[in-house]
Amino acid sequence: MSASAAPVQVAILDDYQNIALQMADWSRLAHRAVITVFNDHVADPAALVERLQRFDVVCVMRERTPLPRAISGTGYTSSPTIELTWALILAAARNVVAENTALRHGGWQQSLGEDLDGKVLAVLGLGRIGSRVAAIGRAFGMEVIAWSQNLTGDKAEAAGARLVTKQELFRDADFLTIHLVLSRRTAGLVGTAELALMKHSAKLINTSRGPIVDEAALISALRERRIAGAALDVHGIEPLPTDHPYRSLDNVLATPHIGYVSRRLYETFYRDTVDNILAWLDGRPIRLSADPRAATAKSPRR
């Protein structure tokens, strides 16, 4: 790009917290790019296309606005998701949100918490994230069992877990945590039949992808108290509709897909995004995404 060329138009999408410009040194693009930040989410494809027509570069997170083509990507780490998984498990076990709400309204000691020591942690998907979640479960003194379509006994043992059948995983779980990639094989994998196998005292935790769980089946199980509760960071529709049952069911702990929303990871996302835009402007190779969850920057017209 020559010094006399007009600045390119760059759009940053879905910056819900309005912090993207604070997470990287965007001044490196001074005089070469005009940055426009959108804090809202546009779900309708036609409206999204209309909004983005004037832009040369679109900065997105696949978690928020998916794009179907291969695109440049940024660095990524799973640590924030692993940490949030355990925040949800602990909060669900000890009724932290309900107790805090009661205390704020004058209450005191409203419930009995569940111990983790000696309980069964069932890990659905024992990959990079699931294996680290399993390690923390063992540190709490939990028995760790695992299952997924391709998991072998040796891999499970190496991660400190015991391989069981799918039926045993759901039947024996005290806390069942999901760590699978969403695909044709895993969409709806947790449905009515699987939930029916679970103990009435069991709780389901999902920080992976909402559609892995049949939402209608889970809502039914929660309403009828066929399982004790669920702690969910991911949802089939995001942002979650204001009238969604997850917002009102008293045995649901729901968070707004914040598993990856941490300062260090945001700084990585946006720093690498600036690097990629500069590389594109200079005609240098851009970083390709090695992880499907990474933030991405796409240049639609070059």
Q: What is the pLDDT of residues 159-183, one digit of tens each?
A: 999 999 999 999 999 999 999 999 9
Residues 104 and 240 in one domain: yes
Residues 173 and 61 in one domain: no
Residues 277 and 250 in one domain: no
The CATH number for 25's domain is 3.40.50.720
Residues 270 and 183 in one domain: no
Burial letters for 237-256: b for 16+ Cβ neighbours within 10 Å, e otherwise? eeebeeebbbeebebbbbbe
d(CA 203, CA 102): 21
CA dihedral 251, 257, 259, 260 (to 10 degrees): 180
Catalytic residue among 179, 209, 235, 293: 209
238 classed as catalytic: yes
Instruction: Fill in the DSSP letter of residue 213.
Output: B
Residue 1 lies in a domain: no
Residue 2 lies in a domain: no
209 classed as catalytic: yes
Catalytic residue among 132, 179, 235, 257: 257
Catalytic residue among 83, 143, 168, 238: 238
Side-chain-side CA neighbours of 174 within 13 Å: the count stands at 16
Q: What is the pLDDT of residues 8-45, one digit of tens each?
A: 999 999 999 999 999 999 999 999 999 999 999 988 88
Host domain of residue 118: 79-254
Average of pLDDT values for 262-290?
86
Residues 37 and 101 in one domain: no
| Residues 167 and 147: beta-carbon distance below 8 Å | no
In the predicted model, what is the mean pLDDT of the chain? 90
257 classed as catalytic: yes
Residues 150 and 249 in one domain: yes
Is the pLDDT at 68 greater than 50? The verdict is yes
Q: What is the pLDDT of residue 257?
A: 94
Q: What is the pLDDT of residues 206-218, one digit of tens each?
A: 999 999 999 999 9
Specify the residue for token string 């190779």: 285
d(CA 101, CA 196): 31
Residues 57 and 182 in one domain: no
- Model confidence at 133, in pLDDT bands (50, 70, 90)? very high
How many folded domains does the chain comprise?
Answer: 2
Residues 66 and 152 in one domain: no
| Residues 170 and 176: beta-carbon distance below 8 Å | yes
